[in-house]
Amino acid sequence: MTNVVPPIEKNEYYDVVFEDLTHDGAGVAKVDGFPIFVANALPGEKAKIKIIKVKKGYGFGRLMELYEQSPERIDAPCPIYKQCGGCQLQHLSYHGQLEHKHKHVKEVLARIGKVDVSKVAVHPTLGMKDPWNYRNKAQVPVGEREGGLIAGFYQKRSHEIIDMERCLIQHSENDEMVQAVKNICSQYGIRAYDEKAHKGWLRHIMVRHGYVTKETMLVFITRTNDFPNKKSILTQITEKFPNVKSIVQNINPKRTNVIFGDETKVLWGSEYIYDYIGNIKFAISARSFYQVNPEQTKVLYEKALEYAHLTGEETVIDAYCGIGTISLFLAQKAKQVFGVEIVPEAIEDAKRNAQLNGINNVEFAVGEAEQVIPAWYEQGIRADVVVVDPPRKGCDESLLGTILDMKPKKVVYVSCNPATLARDIAVLEQGGYETKEVQPVDMFPHTMHVECCSLLVRKDK
């Protein structure tokens, strides 16, 4: 078999029209059907590009000249947008972002899930009124430059830290606190962790902010257990930030790029801060999983509640319940909710959150959903509605089999990855379910991510 020679050459120039965007926001153009990925390009644009790398089945190019701009192109407001890997779509208007995400969800459902999108309602993406400063958690690595500390995000495809004063998608108080901690620690000669030498003390600074309560938690992630000049540093921080309710130290002595270590201790204040999504109150510790955009989480979970269409008589199973976020929303309208999650700490948080809200019609179990749910079934538990909110890899194959065996009337599928959603919908449809509607929700403006809430109903046999 002869090797196919790519129709492009490195360092050559080509005139192209961009057709689409990749999962990391690069424009996709084709030369004789051969795909080329180019940063900072948008669908519909005509441009001259220079080829910078050629692989067997695709190439990479650099944008040299734009002949025809997209009407949705804007100047990215962030000064470090092109260096930082945090956002991918700031050069696309917010209206354009919402339209692209809607189109992407429809295409993926049709191509991978074989969903007939001419008959299934795939609604326009639900966006934010103000799509900036929405992230309630800042988690930034710390480094050193010219004798002082720097803190910011990693440069694209590198471990070089870009020193950053503000991030336009982080809550502004988180930015202020990161800067203050960096400056105060610099005053006391605190050394940043050096991953090559495995020396130094401060690895990461993490700040969590209560969207509704305004309560703030600060976490120092350090290599060793000690805390140089602790009293002076904590006094300065608490005097400067009256909303701080918790200061915590997490110790991570390992050579690893995993952020957290196993040991966490409270240095000042409480172990938790509190926040609300809708009218449900959540206790958030340093290591709790908690949605980073509570405003849009409320939009997403209200849609899940609407699709479940509960009357107060139903039994509901939440198959990836985490800290109980969706379970507690559903419990307000259901007869009984059962939540299962593989992470023991998340289940402890879920039970605590149920108690915090006085919700008694919910039961949580630790384990793999595909093992726990059949055991519940054997105990006589029959779900009218199953809700799944899996990680990016989608539902476990055996869990989908369990759902098909259980035959609930409805499956409400909350997804953070349209491709695995489409794959799993195909399995559920083959097993006797019909997709009724899909609602994309923009949980992370200015990035390529899109969440979806989908309703599948069992066909009458």
Q: What is the DSSP string of 9-67?
A: -TT-EEEEEEEEE-TTS-EEEEETTEEEEETT--TT-EEEEEEEEE-SS-EEEEEEEEE
DSSP string, 177-236: HHHHHHHHHHHTTPPBPBTTTTB-SEEEEEEEE-TTT--EEEEEEESSS--TTHHHHHHH
**Contact between residue 222 and residue 203 where contact means Cβ atoms under 8 Å apart:** yes
For residues 433 and 385, what is the distance between their CA atoms, to the nearest angstrom?
13
Q: Which residues contact 76 (CB under 8 A, 6 or more apart)?
A: 82, 87, 90, 91
**Number of C-beta neighbours around residue 226 at 10 A:** 10
Residue 1, pLDDT score: 45
| 72-85 pLDDT tens trace | 999 999 998 988 87
Structural domain boundaries of the chain?
Answer: 13-68, 99-129+293-458, 137-284
Residues in the chain: 461
Phi then psi dihedrals of residue 88, to 5 deg:
-125, -10
Nearest to 449 by CA among 168, 131, 171, 137: 131
Angle 172-187/230-240 helices, nearest 10 degrees?
150
**Domain over 137-284 is classified CATH 2.40.50.1070:** yes
**Contact between residue 52 and residue 74 where contact means Cβ atoms under 8 Å apart:** no
Fold of the 13-68 domain? OB fold (Dihydrolipoamide Acetyltransferase, E2P) (2.40.50)
**Domain over 99-129+293-458 is classified CATH 3.40.50.150:** yes
Helix (H) / strand (E) containing 153: strand 148-154
pTM of the model: 0.93
Same fold, 13-68 and 137-284: yes
**Could you give the 3-state DSSP secondary structure of residue 273?**
strand
**Contact between residue 99 and residue 123 where contact means Cβ atoms under 8 Å apart:** no
Nearest to 297 by CA among 336, 326, 339: 326
Return the ∠ at Cα 229 (arms to 225 and 232), rounded to 5°: 130
Q: Pairing mode, if any, of strands 161-163 and 121-122?
A: unpaired
**Contact between residue 216 and residue 245 where contact means Cβ atoms under 8 Å apart:** yes
For residues 167 and 175, what is the distance between their CA atoms, to the nearest angstrom?
7
**335 DSSP assignment:** S
Residue 414, pLDDT score: 98
Active site residues: 416
- What would the two tokens of residue 308 be? 């479940």
For residues 216 and 199, what is the distance between their CA atoms, to the nearest angstrom?
29
Q: Which residues contact 15 (CB under 8 A, 6 or more apart)?
A: 46, 47, 48, 67
Per-residue pLDDT of the chain (461 residues; tens, 9 = 90+): 456 789 999 999 999 999 999 988 999 999 999 999 999 999 999 999 999 999 999 999 999 999 999 999 999 999 989 888 789 999 999 999 999 999 999 999 999 999 999 999 999 999 999 999 999 999 999 999 887 899 988 887 777 888 888 999 999 999 999 999 999 999 999 999 998 899 999 999 999 999 999 999 999 999 999 999 999 999 999 999 999 999 999 999 999 989 999 999 999 999 999 999 999 999 999 999 899 999 999 999 999 999 999 999 999 999 999 999 999 999 999 999 999 999 999 999 999 999 999 999 999 999 999 899 999 988 999 999 999 999 999 999 999 999 999 999 999 999 999 999 999 999 999 999 999 999 999 999 999 999 999 999 999 75
Tokens 């260096």, residue located: 83
| 226-257 pLDDT tens trace | 999 999 999 999 999 999 999 999 999 999 98
Whole-number average pLDDT of the chain: 94
Residue 164, pLDDT score: 86
Q: Which residues contact 322 (CB under 8 A, 6 or more apart)?
A: 289, 341, 343, 346, 350, 389
**Number of C-beta neighbours around residue 30 at 10 A:** 15
CA distances from 18 to 6, 22, 57, 65, 315 (A): 19, 11, 18, 13, 49
Q: Which residues contact 416 (CB under 8 A, 6 or more apart)?
A: 391, 392, 443, 449, 451
